[in-house]
Structure 1
């Protein structure tokens, strides 16, 4: 298996898209517009997946784009080429890749394994799934990125033991603890932060470079975007140099690796805190870890590698390029899923988990967890609901995902309204609700009433949190 170099003679492309009235540019062609056409050039789209407009306003996220939301609470970018949603942008990336690869091999793509951050919630995974389906891609599996990395090493290097995957990319951070033995990949625990990554380092460094200019210019989006592009280049160079000199407009700026490390140290410590929590969830001590796999372009930073080594006293694995290891693992897993070779089919078993708890709202806004985080998937849980009053004709079930005690701090996945119940005394009607999670971590709900011989099956395919309620007539 090999990684193809079909995108600007490279084996990857930046998820950047520019919307012009005449044409849409993607990847390397779009990158040149980052400083020229800021409002119409969208980057780091992964960070906008599953986030609502109210969350952006609440967290006061400073972005240069003109954004609103539609009636489904989905983010809309207003560009010179018109309005476009987050899911539509992702769809365009999928179509672009599909066309490139099919043109190279003169064959249609049979199916795909799509990797996602381990800490993506049900809504975020559904956005990816729906965008791929609209791009006419058959999804073989949604695979967690750290798990894909472990597959790349586990299959090729025949390693056994307990593995820690430290995955720090441009937009997200994930930690996964896996046990690997004789082709079985068992995920013990996963955790992360979907809004922490190399983009944050660029942001800090861009501000730092601006402060170094003695006669300061007035900072605007255009200047800051230009500084962000420079900051990314400086960050990469500081992985191999102790200091970097740059020229910005008429200013000469020097930045040392010591200064850069000081800037990002707090973020790296946050990742180590998440790492400790994940080890605790897995009921594993750091001395039990046999190998540490580094994933993501940000792990090239020497400070990160040094801190990981200091924490585990193990030299991290970088035998496979950290920027390619996820793609390689996904390719191997796709080959396994597609292969008709019986020996291959028996050679791997993937036991994944749900990254965040799923529960329902109780009186007082309390979150009752139905399926706990780190539960092996596929799985299902049965809950019996009954009427609390005489002649009660219905009730609501609000489903959330998260770890907090209160639903207000969790993510609303869906609302169900059981209605038109027959008039009976309290407690006489019993509704069986089955919460089922498939191998991709996607949730569906089955509602049953035995005596009335009624059964409803509903996939939770909500793309964004909304106030729409699914009515189930009994």
Structure 2
């Protein structure tokens, strides 16, 4: 069952009737530009009919060259010839030096630690080099279309993080291009192949380019492309095949010196030529540096087999994330020039149990898909027949009290997306809050990646839990994240656009997903412990405040019992026994119930005495409809000097059997329509008393269905990490 290439009939071929758009595959080894003409997507060639543009730039004092001309100079002037710059995007200098120690050009660090490449044209960063490649592609498109481009879609690896995506957009702007969207390369390939409207199912997009590997599992349904899961390796590609083969040739030729850049380039060119030849031949003769020898396809396969196996392991993880089996995949789309290697096609076919699709040139398929998407976004045709849903690769969330991560947007959520969640304060009188944005799959902050921090100031000074802060995460179509925090009552807000300085390393990318599965049970236990410790701290702080205010309500013996319970809770909260902490919290609650009732009664009496009834002009009391108290509800008149309880009893509403007048019925049975603004809201302990009065378990109102973990106060807003802000 083959996938059909998309073509749109009925579109005019006249350029002046259409807006000019292009799709750009900004590749590690080669780049392409494509457009849609007469309803057909096609890549654009240079004057010599070559569609690929080598992603190589050669710099001189008086200018630079891009592509084939630059690659010709690579062997003669390696220090000024920059290739595979895509691998350097979004990385720190230290990361580059560790990962790519054999690069032939020199680096310097900028003031913020980012890499600057030493060239004859001066110090250049990777963004500038990428911009020069984009300018060359844009010039090719402008000449072919006889007009300036209105917009472009640029593809990026699915595993590019915020820094790498932002760097790509910056390079495009530097090149004078209007970016319509950044598009994941595997998703672009799916668009290029397309589907007829009746076909549904799951496909895998296996993208092995020069510098990156991506695997995407997509569900295709009625013209809708939904990315179920992505995976891969941001530093694995055909370039690695070339370097392995070059090292093998060096060993066979007996060339020990790696410092001679000219010989290094000759070896690499010979390896690339041999790799291409071995796609069709069983063996190839190599001539380099005065050595001649023969290399067989079997030898080449043996060299690259471990790398191919790594790609299949990533495929297995992606399938697991998508919740599908390999035999459920209907088609496998091959993308990237490295998929021409026979061993790659053979192993991929064996893994998925079907021969992969290669009907569209794997070098061109991504650019073609980007061109189709650009044609839609620029407004040349309606997008009603195709909906594109990309996903974020790692969960996004915030640090909360106890060093926990509260996930706001889960991994593999389709983008663009906006999600909001309410949080609250942890300390009485807290007027500022530190917002710590996290990325990762683990439950604890220490196991996830920090993306950004910012502060929200101007929060009203309320008791702990009194303020309500809504934090909104928004990920745009390019995968860039912005976070906004707003205090609801005042409208005060703060926001940040997350632009990390450096990209994720390979070990971080691989381990963040793997560890989330390996340590799932351990993480849940750690989270439960942290939550209990946070709750213990909250209970103790609340109790200390209550004792400081109303200790006179207790006898010496009662005070001693409460102090002992609090001391025991403080002691066990230092340990790691979740059950012991939970039992100690319950014991404190039990020992303080009478104290809470007395405080509640005292606070209500103080409030009532402080308010002269004459100023209220006979307020109306609304009795809440309650099946046990007042089935039909009632509106009762209050006489001057009466309490709310007296009004209810006078009108035959028997409520003393429930709370024994301990709560004055201001917390759940009655609402004062006017006046009584000075009455405080019910406290948690007061609410617990009411629960008990009605025969309910204390805190039963907090046991909400569908809670992910058993939290004592899961119905409340979590408190963000408390950090006083200057």
TM-score by length of 2: 0.60
Q: Distance in 2 between matches of 1:332 and 1:430?
A: 45
- The alignment status of 1:348 with 2:386, answered yes or no, reads yes
- The alignment status of 1:398 with 2:430, answered yes or no, reads no
1:430 aligned residue (453, 462, 468): 468
Over residues 36-61 of structure 1, what are the superposed CA-to-partner deviations in whole Å (9 max), with x where a residue is unaligned?
A: 11121111111111111232345464
Please name the residue that 1:309 is paired with.
Answer: 349
Per chain length, whose mean CA-contact separation is higher, i.e. which structure has more relative contact order (CA < 8 Å, sep 6+)?
A: 1
Please name the residue that 1:181 is paired with.
Answer: 221
Measured at CA, do residues 464 and 282 of structure 1 come closer, stay the same or move farther in structure 2, by a change above 3 Å?
Answer: same
Q: Tell me by how many angstroms 1:147 deviates.
A: 0.9
Q: Distance in 1 between matches of 2:362 and 2:198?
A: 18
Q: How does 1:139-178 map to 2 (within 5 A)?
A: 139-155=179-195, 160-178=200-218
1:282 aligned residue (308, 319, 322): 322
Q: Distance in 2 between matches of 1:317 and 1:160?
A: 17
Question: Which stretch of the first structure deviates more once superposed, 345-354 or 367-376?
Answer: 367-376
Q: How does 1:44-123 map to 2 (within 5 A)?
A: 44-59=84-99, 61-123=101-163
Q: Distance in 2 between matches of 1:263 and 1:367?
A: 42
Q: Tell me by how many angstroms 1:213 deviates.
A: 1.6
Q: How does 1:7-26 map to 2 (within 5 A)?
A: 8-26=48-66
Over residues 238-270 of structure 1, what are the superposed CA-to-partner deviations in whole Å (9 max), with x where a residue is unaligned?
A: 111111111112111221111111111011001
Task: Report if aligned partners of 2:270, 2:287 keep a CA contact under 8 Å in 1.
Answer: no
RMSD: 2.5
Over residues 146-170 of structure 1, what are the superposed CA-to-partner deviations in whole Å (9 max), with x where a residue is unaligned?
A: 1111111115898542111100000
SS of corresponding position for 1:413: strand
Task: Report if aligned partners of 1:388, 1:427 keep a CA contact under 8 Å in 2.
Answer: yes
Q: Tell me by how many angstroms 1:417 deviates.
A: 2.5
Please name the residue that 2:251 is paired with.
Answer: 211
Measured at CA, do residues 197 and 91 of structure 1 come closer, stay the same or move farther in structure 2, by a change above 3 Å?
Answer: same
Task: Report if aligned partners of 2:163, 2:502 keep a CA contact under 8 Å in 1.
Answer: yes
Measured at CA, do residues 101 and 408 of structure 1 come closer, stay the same or move farther in structure 2, by a change above 3 Å?
Answer: farther
Measured at CA, do residues 400 and 201 of structure 1 come closer, stay the same or move farther in structure 2, by a change above 3 Å?
Answer: farther
Higher strand share: 1
Q: Distance in 2 between matches of 1:157 and 1:46?
A: 36
SS of corresponding position for 1:290: strand
Please name the residue that 2:298 is paired with.
Answer: 258
Q: Distance in 2 between matches of 1:130 and 1:140?
A: 13
Q: Tell me by how many angstroms 1:229 deviates.
A: 1.7
Over residues 375-429 of structure 1, what are the superposed CA-to-partner deviations in whole Å (9 max), with x where a residue is unaligned?
A: 1122223233433334445333232434466666755432213345555443333
Please name the residue that 1:380 is paired with.
Answer: 418
Higher helix share: 2
Task: Report if aligned partners of 2:266, 2:289 keep a CA contact under 8 Å in 1.
Answer: no
Measured at CA, do residues 181 and 67 of structure 1 come closer, stay the same or move farther in structure 2, by a change above 3 Å?
Answer: same
Q: Distance in 1 between matches of 2:421 and 2:269?
A: 52
Q: Distance in 2 between matches of 1:9 and 1:409?
A: 51
- The alignment status of 1:445 with 2:467, answered yes or no, reads no
Over residues 124-149 of structure 1, what are the superposed CA-to-partner deviations in whole Å (9 max), with x where a residue is unaligned?
A: 11111222123222222211111111
Please name the residue that 1:31 is paired with.
Answer: 71
Please name the residue that 2:651 is paired with.
Answer: none
Q: Distance in 1 between matches of 2:136 and 2:471?
A: 41
SS of corresponding position for 1:167: strand
Please name the residue that 2:259 is paired with.
Answer: 220
Q: Distance in 2 between matches of 1:134 and 1:301?
A: 36
Measured at CA, do residues 365 and 426 of structure 1 come closer, stay the same or move farther in structure 2, by a change above 3 Å?
Answer: closer
TM-score by length of 1: 0.91
Q: Distance in 2 between matches of 1:306 and 1:11?
A: 27
Q: Distance in 1 between matches of 2:171 and 2:135?
A: 10
Please name the residue that 1:469 is paired with.
Answer: none
Measured at CA, do residues 433 and 94 of structure 1 come closer, stay the same or move farther in structure 2, by a change above 3 Å?
Answer: same
Measured at CA, do residues 457 and 141 of structure 1 come closer, stay the same or move farther in structure 2, by a change above 3 Å?
Answer: same
Q: Distance in 1 between matches of 2:257 and 2:247?
A: 12
Q: Distance in 1 between matches of 2:405 and 2:462?
A: 29
Measured at CA, do residues 157 and 236 of structure 1 come closer, stay the same or move farther in structure 2, by a change above 3 Å?
Answer: farther
Count of residues in Structure 1 that have an aligned counterpart in Structure 2: 465
Task: Report if aligned partners of 1:8, 1:28 keep a CA contact under 8 Å in 2.
Answer: no
Q: Tell me by how many angstroms 1:325 deviates.
A: 0.6
Question: Which stretch of the first structure deviates more once superposed, 408-417 or 167-176?
Answer: 408-417
- Between structure 1 and structure 2, the one with the greater Rg is 2
Q: Distance in 2 between matches of 1:35 and 1:148?
A: 34
Task: Report if aligned partners of 1:14, 1:28 keep a CA contact under 8 Å in 2.
Answer: yes
Question: Which stretch of the first structure deviates more once superposed, 324-333 or 399-408?
Answer: 399-408
Over residues 350-380 of structure 1, what are the superposed CA-to-partner deviations in whole Å (9 max), with x where a residue is unaligned?
A: 1221122223345786655432221112222
- The alignment status of 1:240 with 2:280, answered yes or no, reads yes
Q: Distance in 1 between matches of 2:366 and 2:357?
A: 14
Please name the residue that 2:4 is paired with.
Answer: none
Q: Tell me by how many angstroms 1:304 deviates.
A: 0.5
Q: Distance in 2 between matches of 1:73 and 1:155?
A: 46
